[in-house]
C-alpha cells in the first residue's frame, strides 16, 4: 500500500513537472512569436524578393515615382509665378530653351517654367544670403556689394550649370551605348524582325544596361504607335537628344528606308564607324595622359623624391663642411 502511494506521489510530481515545463514552453513560444513577428514578416518579404527579383525594384520604382511626382507637382504649382519675369521674349528663344532642356532629358510641358522659376528663386536666395552675410560682416561697403553681386550671379547661373552637366552626361551615355544598341538591332533585323519591332526589342533588352537609350527607343516606339510616320519619328529621335551620331543614324535609316537598301548593312556600317570613333577618342585621351601627368608629378611627387634622394647627402655635406654647426 505504501509503495502504491509512493508511486502515486512520484507520478503526480512528474505530471506537475511536465505541466510546468509545457506551460513555460508555451509562454516562451508566444513571447518569441510576439517579438519576432516583424522579423518573420521581413524574412517572408525577403524570400518573396528572392523568388521574384523584380519585386524589390518595382517597389523602389513606385516609391521613387511617388516622391518625384510629389516634388514635380509642388514645383509645377510654385514656379510659374516666379518664372514670369524670365519668360523668353520670342518664340525663337523659347524654342532654344525647350531644346536645351530636351537635351538634358526634361521633356515635360512645364519644364521651361520650372527651370526659369528655379533660376529666379536661386537669385533671390543668393541676394538674401549673400547680401545678409556681406552686410553683417562688412557693412554697406563697396566690397560687400561686390560680394552680393557675385554670390547672386553664381546662384542665378547654377541651374544652367546643372543642366549643362546633365546634358553632357546624357550625351556621353548615348554615345557609349549606341554601338551596342546598333549591334542588337542588326541581329534583330537579320533574324526577320521589322525595324519597329527591332527598336522595341532594343528598348526592352537595354533597360538595365543603358536606360537612356532604352527610354529614347521606347519613346520612339510610342510615337510610332500613335500614328507618326517612321521618318518623322527618326528625325525627332535625332533632334531631341543633340547627339551627332544619333542624328547620322536617323538620316542613314531614313535614306535606306526611302531607297530600299539593306537596313541591316547600313546599321552595321554605322556601328563599326562609331566603334572606330570611340576607339580613336580613347587613344587620344591616353595620349594626353602623359602630358597631363607632368603637373602632379612636378608639384607633388618630384619634391618628395628629391628630399628622399638628396636629403641624406645634403646632411652629410653640411656636417663635413660645418662641423661646429653639427655639434661635432
Copy the grid coordinates of residue 215. 527610354
Share of the chain above pLDDT 70, in %: 70
215-219, Cβ contacts within 8 angstroms, sequence gap of 24 or more:
216/174, 216/241, 217/181
Sign of CA dihedral 93, 97, 99, 103: positive
Q: pTM higher than 0.95 for the full model?
A: no
Domain ranges of the chain: 63-169, 171-290
Helix (H, G, I), strand (E, B), or coil: what is residue 136? helix
| Chain segment 284-307, per-residue pLDDT in tens | 888 888 888 888 888 888 888 888
Sequence-distant (6+) residues with CB within 8 A of 210 are 173, 176, 177, 180, 181
The count of other CB atoms within 10 Å of the CB of residue 174 is 19
Task: Report the chain's mean pLDDT, rounded to a whole number.
Answer: 75
Copy the grid coordinates of residue 19. 505541466
| Chain segment 220-260, per-residue pLDDT in tens | 888 888 888 888 888 888 888 888 888 888 888 888 878 87
Q: Which of 259, 241, 272, 257 is nearest to 198 (CA)?
A: 257
Q: Which of 28, 107, 121 is nearest to 74 (CA)?
A: 121
Sign of CA dihedral 114, 106, 166, 238: negative
Give the burial string for 115-143 (b: 16+ CB within 10 Å, else e).
bbbbbbbbbeebbeebbeebeeeeeeeee
| Chain segment 10-50, per-residue pLDDT in tens | 445 554 455 555 556 656 665 565 555 444 455 566 656 66
Give the burial string for 267-276 (b: 16+ CB within 10 Å, else e).
bbebbebbee
Residue with cell 519644364: 111
Sequence-distant (6+) residues with CB within 8 A of 112 are 83, 88, 94, 97, 98, 101
The mean-pLDDT minimum among 20-29, 169-178, 211-220 falls in 20-29
Amino acid at each position: 500500500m505504501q509503495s502504491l502511494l509512493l508511486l502515486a506521489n512520484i507520478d503526480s510530481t512528474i505530471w506537475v513537472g511536465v505541466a510546468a515545463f509545457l506551460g513555460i514552453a508555451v509562454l516562451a513560444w508566444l513571447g518569441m512569436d510576439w517579438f519576432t513577428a516583424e522579423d518573420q514578416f521581413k524574412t517572408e518579404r525577403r524570400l518573396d524578393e528572392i523568388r521574384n527579383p523584380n519585386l524589390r525594384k518595382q517597389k523602389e520604382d513606385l516609391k521613387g515615382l511617388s516622391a518625384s511626382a510629389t516634388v514635380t507637382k509642388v514645383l509645377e504649382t510654385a514656379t510659374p509665378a516666379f518664372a514670369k519675369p524670365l519668360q523668353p521674349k520670342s518664340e525663337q528663344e523659347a524654342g532654344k530653351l525647350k531644346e536645351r532642356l530636351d537635351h538634358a532629358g526634361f521633356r515635360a510641358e512645364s519644364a521651361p517654367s520650372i527651370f526659369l522659376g528655379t533660376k529666379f528663386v536661386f537669385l533671390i536666395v543668393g541676394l538674401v544670403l549673400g547680401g545678409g552675410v556681406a552686410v553683417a560682416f562688412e557693412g554697406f561697403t563697396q566690397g560687400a556689394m561686390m560680394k552680393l553681386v557675385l554670390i547672386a550671379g553664381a546662384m542665378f547661373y547654377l541651374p544652367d550649370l546643372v543642366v549643362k552637366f546633365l546634358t553632357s552626361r546624357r550625351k556621353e551615355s548615348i554615345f557609349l551605348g549606341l554601338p551596342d544598341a546598333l549591334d542588337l538591332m542588326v541581329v534583330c533585323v537579320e533574324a526577320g524582325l521589322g525595324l519597329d519591332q527591332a527598336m522595341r526589342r532594343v528598348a526592352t533588352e537595354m533597360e538595365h544596361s543603358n536606360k537612356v537609350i532604352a527610354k529614347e527607343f521606347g519613346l520612339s516606339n510610342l510615337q510610332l504607335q500613335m500614328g507618326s510616320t517612321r521618318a518623322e519619328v527618326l528625325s525627332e529621335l535625332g533632334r531631341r537628344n543633340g547627339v551627332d551620331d544619333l542624328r547620322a543614324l536617323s538620316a542613314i535609316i531614313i535614306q535606306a528606308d526611302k531607297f530600299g537598301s539593306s537596313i541591316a548593312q547600313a546599321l552595321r556600317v554605322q556601328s563599326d564607324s562609331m566603334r572606330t570613333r570611340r576607339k580613336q577618342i580613347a587613344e587620344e585621351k591616353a595620349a594626353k595622359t602623359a602630358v597631363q601627368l607632368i603637373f602632379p608629378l612636378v608639384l607633388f611627387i618630384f619634391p618628395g623624391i628629391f628630399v628622399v634622394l638628396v636629403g641624406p647627402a645634403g646632411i652629410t655635406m653640411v656636417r663635413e663642411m660645418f662641423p661646429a654647426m653639427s655639434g661635432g
